[in-house]
Chains A and B, each alone.
Chain A
Amino acid sequence: MEPVLLKEGIYWVGAIDWDMQYFHGPVYKTHRGTTYNSYLIVDEKVTLVDAVYAPFAGEMVERIRKIIDPARIDYIVVNHLETDHTGALPEVMKLAPKAKIFCTARCKAGLEKHYYGNWDYEVVKTGSELALGRRTLSFIEAPMLHWPDSMFTYVQEDALLMPNDAFGQHLASAFRFDDEVETDLIMEEASRYYANILYPLSKLVLKKLDEVAGLGIPISMIAPSHGVIWRKNPGRIIEAYRRWASGEWLPRAVVVYDTMWGSTAAMARSIIEGLAAEKVDARLVKISIRDLNHIFTELLEARLLVVGSPTVNRSHLSVLSPFLDELTGLKPVNRLGAAFGSYGWSRGAVKAMEGKLEAAGLTLAGEGLELLWVPDEAGLESCREWGRVLARKVKEQG
């Protein structure tokens, strides 16, 4: 693929990774690959903004070469030191050894501990500017969005924001712009990305959105480091981030469960029926066959999380533990929880799950539901009724 023009003199020179299935090690399953977006600005000074993951260095360099000899790169802006955006830096520095790197102090410290290169750095802060000739860049530090070193770069004359990982999507595509790919698909991947990477940092996201809005700068295009570029409608993703970060919810419930011999599964299906009868968008997730990424995306805008497990060894099935552990780290705000399950002789699963829901900051929407052995029709009806009662809580404001 050729370089792609964003604005006059500004090109996408990144790489498309159709095969990426796991991101951040084994934790984060990407369903549709990803892209590593780097951008080349050709002005009096030739500037590369971010690089790509190391295995794609050759692909990026070839794209740059179609525009200009890489040796002519004067400046490299590193918005974020994570390896998916810097792995190709050593290769670029080999081709352009005199290039100067512009990044935050934390980014510099991290780059030195990643690549141990004898490189020329200039540390920038919020408000720092870099004149390229016809254009001027300005920088906005964005600590913990999503690493301490993160920052955004803004091209003043083009009203172009390059916020690195913010506003991204893990979405490999033959196209580079939001108006070339189905909106629903982009937004689904953007929400998956938010749910799994930015959700616990929502408070900081809101503050940063306010700070950027307060700068009063026009934004005509947002070019993130993964996925499509917001050319037609940059407001769409800003508005979505505001909604997700402020914890807004829909009348939606997610039932996350697992089962031993099918009793808890039967309960789960009846609970879904009860929730749906009250017009709550209820979704069923059997945890052992889904990845966590899928579940957290389902939860992003759901008001209610229902967890189900039979009692085993006086607690819940261990297959639920990674999910319940990670839930604590995500710090959900303004969310309801409830627990259910079947049991044989002693109980314990519901109480254990309720404890973990509360520890994660959820408010219990009602008493848990436990049934002995295999539920009969009366038992299943009690599950439906339990679902209906929960549904009414879901729709209450608060």
Chain B
Amino acid sequence: MEKWECDVCGYIYDPAEGDSSAGIEPGTSFEDLPEDWVCPDCGVGKEDFTKLD
């Protein structure tokens, strides 16, 4: 599963870790994050993330 980076602040969403601050279990792909999930560091939405290759 790919990592995604926040365009605004540089936070990297790693599916292997999930996002405990929002109750996201490890193993959750970026695509499977709820639509209202936001960057835990700066608060912008999923549409402001770019897939890392």
Interface: B16 (CB within 8 A): no
Interface: A58 (CB within 8 A): no
For the complex formed, measure the closest distance between the CB of B20 and the CB atoms of chain A, giving whole angstroms.
Answer: 16
Q: What's the Cα separation between A332 and B32 when bound, in Å?
A: 32
From A141-149, A168-176, A215-223, A247-255, give the one contacting chain B.
A141-149
Residue in A141, A201, A203 whose CB lies within 8 Å of B43: A141
Q: What's the Cα separation between A144 and B10 when bound, in Å?
A: 13
How many residues in B have their beta carbons less than 8 Å from beta carbons of A?
Answer: 10
Q: Collect the chain A residues with CB atoms within 8 Å of residue B43's CB.
A: 106, 141, 143-144, 148-149
A window 135-189: CB within 8 A of B = 141, 143-144, 148-149
For the complex formed, measure the closest distance between the CB of B3 and the CB atoms of chain A, giving whole angstroms.
Answer: 21
Q: Collect the chain B residues with CB atoms within 8 Å of residue A141's CB.
A: 43
For the complex formed, measure the closest distance between the CB of A124 and the CB atoms of chain B, giving whole angstroms.
Answer: 14
For the complex formed, measure the closest distance between the CB of A328 and the CB atoms of chain B, giving whole angstroms.
Answer: 13
Residue in A106, A148, A149, A204 whose CB lies within 8 Å of B48: A204
Q: Collect the chain B residues with CB atoms within 8 Å of residue A149's CB.
A: 43
A window 90-140: CB within 8 A of B = 106
For the complex formed, measure the closest distance between the CB of B17 and the CB atoms of chain A, giving whole angstroms.
Answer: 20
Q: What's the Cα separation between A226 and B44 when bound, in Å?
A: 24
Q: Please give the residue numbers on chain B whose beta carbons come within 8 Å of chain A beta carbons, in ascending order.
A: 7-9, 38-39, 41-44, 48
23 pairs from A and B in contact (CB 8 Å cutoff): A106-B43, A141-B43, A143-B38, A143-B39, A143-B42, A143-B43, A143-B44, A144-B8, A144-B9, A144-B42, A144-B43, A144-B44, A148-B9, A148-B41, A148-B42, A148-B43, A149-B43, A201-B8, A203-B7, A203-B48, A204-B8, A204-B44, A204-B48
